[in-house]
Structure 1
Amino acid sequence: MNTTWLSLLWFLAVLALIPVALWLLKRTPLAQGAGAAGVMRTVAVLPLSPNQRLVTVEVGSGDERRWLVLGVTPQQISTLHTMAPQADAPTAAPSAPSFAQALRQMRGQRD
């Protein structure tokens, strides 16, 4: 076999292994931050405008657990308030119907 073909074959093999390596890396503890799982979670999100929202996150574990109320804009994230975790986390408000659901509902009313 010609060395050009052999080089081309190795090049294609390396290109094929890149997505496989990335897929495997996503499923290892290295990709998740090694031990950071369960240390932070989003409690609630309140959109204020298309570019601004209030986000409540829970950080820490055990006695060190705290809720942070954050103001989030495209330019920065600011801590607005820090408080002890509440016993009853706010429940998510019912979301608006998706476009497909709204379209089905409109077709049903028209028929």
Structure 2
Amino acid sequence: MSGTDFIGPVFAFLAILALIPAALWLLKRTPIGGAATGTPMRLVGALPLAPNQRLVTVEVGQGDDRRWLVLGVSPAGISTLHQMPPQAELPAAPAATGLAFAQLLKKQQKPGSSDAR
């Protein structure tokens, strides 16, 4: 066997290796791979509890079948904590910003008190 007999199979092997990432990329972006555009799911809210733990509320379903799921998310997995019908969404509270929190804190402090230590 000469060295040129190996060029064809080696080239075919390298071509297959190059096509694997391209096929995976394409699979992620098609409905076959689970990237359906009409997925009836959306994030309603998230509350970080610890650096690696969150409380998440998601809405699943459509129409009368809509449900809100309260999920506990941690490195150990995802747990369903509660299910409920969709709630009326409230506008973002102004107290959610750092400036509003600072203003509320200032109101709570007693006049004349100082924190100088």
- Corresponding residue for residue 14 of structure 2: 12
Query: Is 1:43 equivalent to 2:44 in the alignment?
Result: yes
TM-score of the two chains, using structure 2 as the length reference: 0.63
Deviations 1:25-67 (CA, angstroms, capped at 9, x unpaired): 22211112658x4322211000011132211011111101011
Number of matched pairs: 94
Map 1:71-86; keep pairs closer than 5 Å: 71-86=72-87
Paired AA for residue 12 in structure 2: W
Q: Which residue of the partner structure matches residue 62 of structure 2?
A: 61
Q: Which has the higher contact order (CA 8 A, sep 6+)?
A: 1
Residue in structure 1 matched with residue 23 of structure 2 by the alignment: 21
Q: In structure 2, what is the Cα distance between the partners aligned to 1:42 and 1:33?
A: 16
Larger radius of gyration: 2
C-alpha change, 1:31 and 1:89, in structure 2 (3 Å) is: farther
| TM-score of the superposed pair, with normalisation by structure 1 | 0.66
Listed as ranges, the gaps of 5+ residues in structure 2 are 99-117
Structure 1 stretches of 5 or more lacking a match? 96-111
Report the identity percentage: 62
* Change over 3 Å in CA distance of 1:13–1:94 after alignment to 2: farther
